Amino acid sequence: MLPNLLNECEVRELQSLISQAQNVVITCHVSPDGDAVGSMTALYHYLRRINKNVTMVAPNIFPDFLKWIPGANDIHVYDKNEEALEPTIAAADLFMFVDFNEPKRMEKLGDAVMANNSPKVLIDHHLNPTDFGSVSCSHPEMCATCEIILRLLLQLSAIDEITPEEATCLYVGMMTDTGGFIYNSSRSEIYEAIGVLLSKGIDKDKIYRNVFYTCTTDRFRLMGYLLYVKMKTFPEYRASLMTLTKDERKLFSCKNGDTEGFVNIPLQINGMRLSVFMREDTEKKNVIRVSLRSVDDFPCNAMATDFFNGGGHLNAAGGEVIGTMDQAEAIFKEALKKYAPLLRGVNVS
């Protein structure tokens, strides 16, 4: 049996906040990923089954390959419906924030939410949480926020009550944040958690296909283009860079989310320790979104903080550059120079 994550006092506090609330709003970070959508929907099902009014609000749209998740169709998108959502946000008597740890990760939705003084519960696995919730359930050792939520549900409700829908949502988050359990997933408790989810009847093979094997032809060709034409390698730094402009996106009718996962591919090259993918933001002008991935002990999050005004985990981090792609590329090269000793690495496996 999985050990308790919260102590008695924390469980009581969480239980009392939830039992006193009637109108709960759940939010996640901008550009929601599988863990964000899985966490929101799992909590949504749980809170509805204990008779709460629940509204899920994402700061902006989430990718099509997550739309099949049970409950995902009920997620409201803030930047498309600001005015319509304002009354619901103002009337919320409890907020639950999942998969992020600073209000700025909600962008404009953060301003609306923070203007309401109702209690806020933060459930997250990112490092260095800022203190902006009434109750903070921060566990960076967990592979996904969904793993934390499963552990909370096991403490808050009987295992028998967890539904197959909730289990499916939770599995999506754990699977996507570990790239299908190929990184950040060596704690044995993860597999005990998966055992619990399997006992609820999830179809893990179908979930994998639903998420990872639903490419459009355009996405496949874009992947080929990026790898063949755009990827630059820097063998002396054991690093690679891919860039994508808005015009190139158009060439492949590429939507938000269509580039998900591409940044991982160059790490399949023998000896590669760092892969960076930079793309022009689809919505904001003059903003380059940056994704960083690494293997072994190379700290992507440190590089993201130092050079890209971002952060994240040791092996997966992100940030942005305000400026042109050329400027972003120049910053990347500076970063390579500064991190050269760590990139060349001594702990080569």
145-to-137, 169, 220, 245, 248 alpha-carbon distances in Å? 10, 11, 29, 31, 34
3-state secondary structure of 70: coil
Measure CA 339 to chain center: 25
Q: Indicate the pairing of strand 75-77 with strand 53-58.
A: parallel
Q: Which of residues 278-297 bind ligand 5GP (CB under 6 A)?
A: 291
Work out how close the CB of 140 gets to ligand 5GP at its nearest, in angstroms, rounded to a whole number: 10
Structure tokens at 171: 């599995």
Work out how close the CB of 141 gets to Mn ion at its nearest, in angstroms, rounded to a whole number: 13
Q: Which of residues 10-49 bind ligand 5GP (CB under 6 A)?
A: 33
Q: Which of residues 161-220 bind ligand 5GP (CB under 6 A)?
A: none
Q: Are 57 and 25 in contact (CB under 8 A)?
A: yes
Closest CB to ligand 5GP among residues 70, 318: 318
Q: What angle do CA 21, 170, 312 make, to 5 degrees?
A: 90
Is residue 317 part of the contact set for ligand 5GP (CB under 6 A)?
A: yes
Is residue 249 part of the contact set for ligand 5GP (CB under 6 A)?
A: no
3-state secondary structure of 76: strand
**Nearest to residue 196, comparing CAs of 139, 158, 143?**
158
Q: Which of residues 319-338 bind ligand 5GP (CB under 6 A)?
A: 319-320
Q: Which of 311, 315, 332, 336 lies at the binding interface for ligand 5GP (CB under 6 A)?
A: 311
User: Which residue has the CB atom at the shortest distance from ligand 5GP?
Assistant: 318
Q: Which of 272, 318, 331, 343 lies at the binding interface for ligand 5GP (CB under 6 A)?
A: 318
Q: Are 315 and 293 in contact (CB under 8 A)?
A: yes
Place of tokens 């923070």: 114
Closest CB to ligand 5GP among residues 114, 159: 114
Q: Which of 32, 98, 99, 289 lies at the binding interface for Mn ion (CB under 5 A)?
A: 99
Interface ranges with ligand 5GP (CB under 6 A):
33, 126, 291, 310-313, 316-320
Q: Residues interacting with Mn ion, by CB under 5 A?
A: 35, 99, 145, 177
